[in-house]
Chains A and B, each alone.
Chain A
Amino acid sequence: MRVLRSVFRRKMRALLTIFGITIGVLALVVMGSIAEKLSLLVDGGSDYYADKVIVSGTSGIGGFSTEPITTSLIDEIERVDGVARAAGSVMMLLDPEPSAVSMGVVANIQASDFRELGYETFDSDVVDGRALEPDDRGVAVIGADLVSKLDAEVGGTVEVRGREFEVIGILGKTLTAPDMAVQIPLADAQEILVADLPAAVRDTVEKDTLITSIAVYLEEGEDPDEMATVIGQEVDDVSVMGPAGFETSVKEPLKIFNQIIYAIAVVSLLVGGLSVINTMTMSVAERTREIGVRKAIGATDGAIMRQFIAESAVMGVIGGLLGLALGALVGIAGNQAGAQSATELFLLTPRLALGSVTFAIVLGVASGLYPARHAARLNPVQALRYE
């Protein structure tokens, strides 16, 4: 209470200083929420790609390709020593012309030949309805983030690439790629894939042999990165990616992106810290006489130091909590606004919330150190004479 009264002795100045911290923490929370969202997304990817090799067409970047390849490759890959299973799947963009700017995973269509059953360990739970089964046609299971964009509910229908699908299931939120996927039967996906091809080649392909990627599951003890090299040598005209490929093509760039995001936020918070130093220095100067009096009535240097550090710490606490609250609101509002277009940008994790406020408090204390030390070292006689 006493500390608060001292801080708010100059209300306007205290508020402006606190807002400086608030804006810094706000930036940290909002930017950090984006970074956290992307990190979780990519962590999910790391889990998925950790134990397998992905084979796709040669135009693929980092294992993601919509260029068709044929199912004959599945047999070819399964003949390679060390391969336990190869499963084909089709992946396409949900919207053939996605908006130019997108963060994270773009909404997509996924279909698989079910050969991964018993090999795939990455789980996405169906929270409503049921999962796809091999003989299904014309049905869809919807990823969590696409529910409101597609206006999907179990028993209803959704339109995918101009075709009607009955919704039979909704996926639980995974915070990674499946949230943005519409799962449909392979045969339906192959029809769409063929329709996407240029008219000239459309008639020359057998549509039920077309896939876009193959997930390769390995024998126990095989190193997926070494196997990626082996498969690349033995199978022609494909792009092969192991876990290391995912790291370099996705994780590393994201790490740099996240570092830039955090750096911007931290800089804005440091500016807030400078304004605390400024305010505390002014406050010490204005209260020189009070400091002299406090010393005259028995305050030790340590007591004076603690008093002023407490005041700057309080500004850090208030600014930090305000910034966190505002940042959380921005995140919630942003996600709500983005729900219709399935762009959930923000994820405020507990560690980010705790980290932001802690950083603000540490910054408050650190910014108070110099002015507080100056105050503590004032000569009491000179301080008492100060007008």
Chain B
Amino acid sequence: MEPIVRVDEVTKRYRLGKQNYVDALRGASLEVAPGEMVAIMGPSGSGKSTLMHIAGCLDAPDTGEVWLSGRRVDGLRGRDLARLRGREVGFIFQGFNLVPTMSALENVALAAEYAGASRRSASIVAHTLLESVGLGDRMRHLPSELSGGQQQRVAIARALVNDPSIVMGDEPTGDLDTATSDEIVTLLRRVNREKGTTFIIVTHNPEVAAACDRTVHMRDGVVDGQVLAVGVYPA
């Protein structure tokens, strides 16, 4: 099957000062099949977040090719990347990163509006999604009035609102306790199974990785090993 994401020999150098730089990626490659749920693990500074950002059209590589849904995206800039991010990709972050002055409903609807939906239709889709993640009674609450797990559910609904083909999770359970973390992973798995959404999840948590179909290990800016999960979680 044609992979939904293909990252081929990608390099990325971040300049910190005039002479000072970091090679975040030194020729990393990764293929993810549609509907697959992949965990990326590795020590800090191994390049896993950078790989995820580049695969998610948040950043452009210095060299190498990036393909998303059969389309080459590594040469795209600015507006085109923003459009792809809005429609093809969803993001979930460790710190939830909701807009603090907006209600749960508005936060979810915002992503739909950025993708071009009217305020009204964005609100309707957001409503449905928040109900599906179990927050039907919390829609008007501000992020500060929600628990960590609830905030992350809002963020998941936001990531799904434009029906993306792939969702990127940057340590999505990093700020949650074990029980809540389990709930979130179960929710992601459910979305993956029901909608066929592809997930790439950067994590330090072996239990999260174990819930995924496959774990990719990174070290020093390259992918250096892959493990296929064997039914730790009920399929």
List residues of chain A with CB under 8 Å of any chain B CB. 2, 5-6, 9, 289-290, 293-303, 379-381, 384
Contact = CB atoms under 8 A, between A and B. Distances in A.
Given A298-B85, A299-B82, A301-B78, A380 B111 contact: no
B82 A298 contact: yes
A128 B152 CA distance: 77
Given A296-B91, A381-B53, A301 B82 contact: yes
Interface stretch (B98-106, B205-213, B214-222): B98-106
Nearest to A289: B97
A303 B113 CA distance: 10
Contacts of B79: 300-302
A300 B50 CA distance: 21
10 contacts: A9-B101, A294-B110, A294-B114, A296-B85, A297-B85, A297-B90, A297-B110, A298-B83, A301-B82, A379-B59
B42 interface: no
Contacts of B56: 296
A384 B96 CA distance: 11
Given A5-B102, A6-B101, A297-B110, 9 more contacts: A294-B99, A294-B114, A297-B111, A297-B159, A298-B87, A298-B111, A299-B82, A300-B82, A384-B97
Interface string B107-151: 000110011000000000000000000000000000000000000
A301 B77 CA distance: 11
A251 to B, nearest CB: 53
Nearest to A387: B95
B86 interface: yes
Contacts of B6: none
A127 to B, nearest CB: 55
Contacts of B87: 298
Interface residues on B, range: 20 to 34
Interface centre among A290, A297, A299, A380 (most CB of B within 10 A): A297
Given A9-B101, A290-B99, A301-B79, A296 B162 contact: no
Contact of A293 (B53, B82, B97, B115): B97
A293 B99 contact: yes
Contact of A300 (B83, B102, B111): B83
Interface string B58-91: 1100000000000000000011001101110011
B155 to A, nearest CB: 9
Chain A binding surface SS class: helix
A381 B58 contact: yes
Interface of B: 50, 53, 56, 58-59, 78-79, 82-83, 85-87, 90-91, 93, 97-102, 106, 110-111, 114-115, 158-159, 162
Given A298-B162, A380-B58, A2 B102 contact: yes
Contact of A303 (B78, B93, B114): B114
B58 A296 contact: yes
A380 B53 CA distance: 10
Contact of A380 (B59, B86, B90, B159): B59
A294 B102 CA distance: 12
Given A9-B100, A381-B58, A298 B114 contact: yes
Interface centre among B78, B79, B93, B101 (most CB of A within 10 A): B101
A286 to B, nearest CB: 11
Contact of B91 (A2, A6, A297, A303): A297
B53 A2 contact: no
Nearest to A377: B78
A381 B59 contact: yes
Contacts of B159: 297
A384 B171 CA distance: 13
A29 B163 CA distance: 53
Contacts of B91: 293, 296-297
Contacts of B85: 295-298
Given A381-B58, A384-B93, A297 B100 contact: no
Contacts of A302: 79
B101 to A, nearest CB: 4
A312 to B, nearest CB: 16
Contacts of A384: 58, 93, 97
Contacts of A381: 50, 53, 58-59
Contacts of B111: 297-298
Nearest to A385: B49
A298 B86 CA distance: 4
A287 B138 CA distance: 25
A297 B158 contact: yes
Nearest to B86: A298
B169 to A, nearest CB: 12
Contacts of B50: 381
Contacts of B158: 297
B94 to A, nearest CB: 10
A294 B101 CA distance: 13
Nearest to B164: A298
